[in-house]
Structure 1
Amino acid sequence: MEDDESIAEPLIEGLARYGIVADHAVTGAAALVAPPYDVAVLDLDLSSLDPPGLDGIELCRRLRRTRDVPLIMLTAPGEEADRALGADDYLAKPFSVHDLVSRMRVVGRRVRAAPTADPVRRYGPLAIDTRTRQIRLHGVPVSLAPKEYDLLVLLAADPGVVVDRRHILDTVWEPDFFGPGKTLDFHVASLRRKLGGAGWIENRRGVGFRLVVPA
């Protein structure tokens, strides 16, 4: 979903070079009634709203309620990633088609591999709803950025077990990720802060991190 034709058309052509067939929904209403698709790419700040009030965030929420499809949100430069809450991933403009294709493949694999059992996982006072990607701590909603959520889910998959840093980067970001060296540490620090303290995530220096559920 992209309301700017000057962005949408070159993007569709670029995706075609990677063998990806893309349809362009000009309005939010069109996106909601579009045929089934494998991945949805939404612009966070839609300017041509149809119907009024259906911006990128609201469209994401409605798609979450009606379709089981991976969602990638496009954000403006410097825009807070927290605003993309509810999407599986986000990508800041400007971006390359290669970057978008990499994100599409990663979220596609991640969603296909997700378990279909009870979507709510509980770890003491912490509850993770994998269907809605919502987090609650002592019953209170916790707002996480997409990568923070994915990091928490990965650590929570086996509480108490140390997850190797390289494995975290390959899983939460993408295989052979070579971004800024402190990317993972920054997200861990942010996640600890939002969970109310460092005790939830333990650092094994030089190895990785593990989730520690309070007694």
Structure 2
Amino acid sequence: MKNTILIVEDELSLSGYLTKELQFEDFNVLVANDGLAAMETYEAHQNELLLILLDWMLPKLDGMEVLRRIRKHDQVPVIIMTARDYVGDKVAGLDNGADDYITKPFEIEELLARIRVIQRRLENQVEPNQVYQLDEVILDTKSHRVTNAGAEVQLTHREYDLLQFFLAHPDEVFTRDDLLDQVWGADFLGQQNVVDVYVGYLRSKIETPNAGPLIKTVRGVGYKLREATNG
């Protein structure tokens, strides 16, 4: 399992504190203090990274631009660190591909819990290569690619994990708590309605009006992936 964390933070006191605490937890730590340095460090070490802790407000390139550039060709987990506590900013971070966010100031225990969630999720992904298909949607675990009618679908880590879980359990009904435990992990600290948000993201990316819904809402219970159609 990869064990290196890239900290992208221009506040030297905070990056120094986080480096010390994460090294104490036996992580390898890399630090970049601006957006351009973040991209250079990422490109030099991308195959070693467990995750990236990314500050929103950075000199040279802001955190959202760094995230967008990384997401063009990599799904390494990213936790956004931000002093901005507006819901719209959090949604923007998630929409641009962040896996999680944490609002400054935060306790190190909360950050470590969020890192453990990501570690557990990545450990659960270690499995034989497999290809799942539902109608024209195909998920290939070896290439970590999703296509719909032959066109590649860009998914975040969380969207990919949620889709893979549904595809592995077609026509089974899951509550929101079930999905939180299986996809987000038992240590997840967010709210239950995050499941609804990500189901909405998936629907917008993999469903087409003519084909009908792939992910069905089971009123009063939760969600299920419908079975494939014949022919």
Question: With structure 1 as the length reference, what TM-score do the two structures score?
Answer: 0.71
Quick check: 1:199 aligned with 2:182?
Answer: no
Q: Describe the shift of the 1:38–1:95 C-alpha distance in structure 2 as closer, same or farther (beyond 3 A).
A: farther
Quick check: 1:135 aligned with 2:141?
Answer: no
How many equivalent pairs are there? 202
**1:25: which partner in 2?**
31
Name the stretch that deviates more: 27-36 or 98-107. 27-36
Secondary structure class of the residue paired with 1:39: strand
Which amino acid in the other structure matches residue 170 of structure 1? Answer: D
Alignment partners' CA distance in 1, 2:154 and 2:214? 16
Quick check: 1:71 aligned with 2:77?
Answer: yes
Q: Describe the shift of the 1:121–1:214 C-alpha distance in structure 2 as closer, same or farther (beyond 3 A).
A: closer
**1:149: which partner in 2?**
160
- The CA deviation at 1:172 is 2.2
Alignment partners' CA distance in 1, 2:51 and 2:159? 20
**1:83: which partner in 2?**
96
Which amino acid in the other structure matches residue 163 of structure 2? Answer: L
Q: Describe the shift of the 1:16–1:32 C-alpha distance in structure 2 as closer, same or farther (beyond 3 A).
A: same
- The CA deviation at 1:133 is 4.4
- Segments of structure 1 that go 5 or more residues without pairing to the other structure are 65-69
Which amino acid in the other structure matches residue 11 of structure 1? Answer: L
**1:102: which partner in 2?**
113
- The CA deviation at 1:118 is 3.3
Give the share of equivalent positions with the same residue, in percent.
Answer: 24
**1:174: which partner in 2?**
185
Q: Describe the shift of the 1:38–1:184 C-alpha distance in structure 2 as closer, same or farther (beyond 3 A).
A: same
Alignment partners' CA distance in 2, 1:188 and 1:35? 29
- The CA deviation at 1:43 is 2.2
- The CA deviation at 1:176 is 5.6
Question: With structure 2 as the length reference, what TM-score do the two structures score?
Answer: 0.67
Alignment check: 8 A CA contact 2:216 2:226 kept: yes
> Per-residue displacement from partner, 1:153-202 (whole Å, max 9, x unpaired)?
21111212223432211222231646434332232233223323562112
Alignment partners' CA distance in 2, 1:20 and 1:73? 19
- Segments of structure 2 that go 5 or more residues without pairing to the other structure are 1-5
Alignment check: 8 A CA contact 2:116 2:187 kept: no
Q: Describe the shift of the 1:55–1:37 C-alpha distance in structure 2 as closer, same or farther (beyond 3 A).
A: same
